[in-house]
Amino acid sequence: MFTCCILSLMFVKSLQRFEKIALILLLFLLPTQLAFHFWPPWAFVFGIRVDFLSPSIYATDILVAILFVISLLVDKKTLSKSIARNKYYILALLLFVITNIVFSVSPFVSIYKWIKVIEFTFLAYYFSKQKTLGMASIIKILLLTSSFFSLIGILQFFSGGTLGGILYYLGERTFNMSTPGIALVAINGAEHLRAYSTFSHPNSLAGFLGIVIILVLTNGHLKDSKTKIPALVISLVCFVVAFSLSAYIGISTALLFWLISKYKKLFKYMAYIFLSLSIFLSLLMPMVSSSILKVVPGVSQNLSQRLDLAAISGKLISHNFFFGGGLGTFVIGATRVHGFTNTWLLQPVHNISLLIFTEIGLIGLLAFCFLLYKVFLKSPLLFLFIIVTGLTDHYWLTLQQNTLLLSILYGISFRISTWRKS
């Protein structure tokens, strides 16, 4: 009996060490997009492969799965109690998921996307409960990984193309300034490549870096860290050379709210107004976007495409107002109501509130607003940045790196005041 207890204790200790390694690897590899993509028939639109529809297994998915298995083995009772305590919510969610899949324009796509939601939900739950790493350790790892991947982005900016080599296995795609559709910026009349690093777009990179920068600047856990300043400077430089206007506005908004944060009543009042106004303006976009395109001459191609997608989202919402057209199916739905005129159409609407409304309906949007409200109270500056960048982009809900980071943020936001400093 004594021997069994010793062996059991050793097994648990080994699992905990393995958990720590997997957790550190997950945090460090968050910016990577190394994955194996599958291409079933429903991942094609008009014969064109669409990344947003492709089932994929990322290296980070495997690490999340490892953490899930360890959680079951080490802390099965806590997980079971959480499920039992929330069984009615889980049952209601299950019924909604089934309904959303039934009404989906592509059930297989929606099934895959709901599986991803389960993964992200577990990750948020895990970070709200785990005690393996403290807040200081999490921020330090995120800052180090941000600076490492920022160096890649900075070198891309100055070299005018990708670096290649082993970085391909971290998710760096092969491109240069002449690649069709690549994001460029004009500086003093000369075009330069915007930093991509291992992300699929500079906006996605800037969103990731913006969150890490805000985390570092608004938490005092790294006061004595010798690596803080150099790593932060590198991340800031890459954030700048990503040239993401929405991220610039997002971090400026967070800074503005930080300056008034000592006036608690004013801060809370302004934050709620901003949150409500952001959602209201998002829902207004489908109704005014077509008029803007007609009335305002010389609208840039980038803006006109966003407005077109917003108008399309309005049509899709009207088709299935309460339950949506199916999670992950915006691209398919858009081509059905608009036809196929250009490859720019093969992407989701660039607004997270509209994307949610379109794909999972009014019920899903109300649930999203409730969850956003709950977490907004815990980490207002972080989620202000997400809300602002989410007004003109979709990556927080559609791209692996950003969605994983969002899930982690949601989890740690409920633990910030209770983390042990480590």
Strand-pair partners of 161: 176
* Sign (positive or negative) of CA dihedral 388, 376, 348, 279: negative
Q: What's the CA dihedral at 328, 333, 339, 343 to 10 degrees?
A: -10
CA distances from 6 to 2, 13, 15, 71, 238 (A): 6, 11, 14, 20, 50
Q: How many domains does the chain have?
A: 1
> What angle, rounded to 10 degrees, do the helices at 76-85 and 87-102 form?
70
On whether residue 396 sits in a domain, the answer given is yes
Mean pLDDT of all residues belonging to the chain: 90
User: Torsion angle of alpha carbons 192, 193, 197, 198, nearest 10°?
Assistant: 180
* pLDDT given at position 416: 57
Smallest CA-to-CA distance from 240 within 172, 150, 178, 161 is with 150
* C-beta separation of 375 from 415 below 8 A: no
Tokens of 392: 């003109």
Q: Look at residue 136 and give its three-state secondary structure.
A: helix
- Residue 3 or residue 302, greater confidence: 302
Q: Is the pTM of this model over 0.85?
A: yes
State the DSSP H helix or E strand holding residue 80, giving kind and residue range, or none if neither.
Answer: helix 76-85
Which tokens go with 252? Answer: 């400026």
Who wins on pLDDT, 130 or 152? 152
- Residue 422's pLDDT is what? 42
Q: What is the mean pLDDT of residues 218-244?
A: 87
pLDDT band at 361 (very low <50, low <70, confident <90, very high): very high
pLDDT at 412: 92
In this structure, what are the phi and psi dihedrals at residue 412, rounded to the nearest 5 degrees? -75, -20
Element (H, E) at 123: helix 107-129
Residue 87 lies in a domain: yes
pLDDT at residue 110 in the model: 98
Question: Is there a domain that residue 122 lies in?
Answer: yes
Give a yes or no: residue 329 inside a domain: no
pLDDT given for residue 61 in this prediction: 98
Q: What is the mean pLDDT of residues 189-207?
A: 96
Tell me the mean pLDDT in the region 207-219: 94
Q: Looking at residue 369, what is its pLDDT?
A: 92
State the pLDDT at residue 62: 97
For the chain, percent of residues with pLDDT exceeding 70? 94
Exposed, middle or buried by CB within 10 Å (0-12, 13-18, 19+), for 295?
exposed
Cα dist from 159 to 192, 193, 267, 333, whole Å: 9, 8, 43, 39
Model confidence at 104: pLDDT above 70: yes
Q: Would residue 309 count as lying in a domain?
A: no
Mean pLDDT across the stretch 386-391? 96
The pair of three-digit structure tokens given for residue 41, joined into one six-digit string? 């028939």
Residue 94 and residue 79: Cα distance in Å, rounded?
18
Q: Does the structure show a pLDDT above 50 at 66?
A: yes
Tell me, yes or no, whether 335 lies in a domain. no
Model confidence pLDDT, tens digit, residues 278-331: 999 999 999 998 888 878 777 788 888 899 999 999 999 999 999 999 999 999
Which range of residues forms the domain containing residue 137? 16-278+350-413
Band (pLDDT 50/70/90 cuts) for residue 420 is very low
Q: Which residues, 6 or more positions from 221, have their beta carbon under 8 angstroms from its beta carbon?
A: 134, 135, 136, 139, 140, 421
In angstroms, the first-to-last Cα distance of the chain is 36
Residue 186: inside a domain: yes
Q: Are 124 and 408 in contact (CB under 8 A)?
A: yes
Q: What is the pLDDT of residue 294?
A: 79
Confidence tier at 155 by pLDDT (50, 70, 90): very high
Average pLDDT over residues 326-340: 91
Residue 347 in tokens: 């992407």
Residue 264 lies in a domain: yes
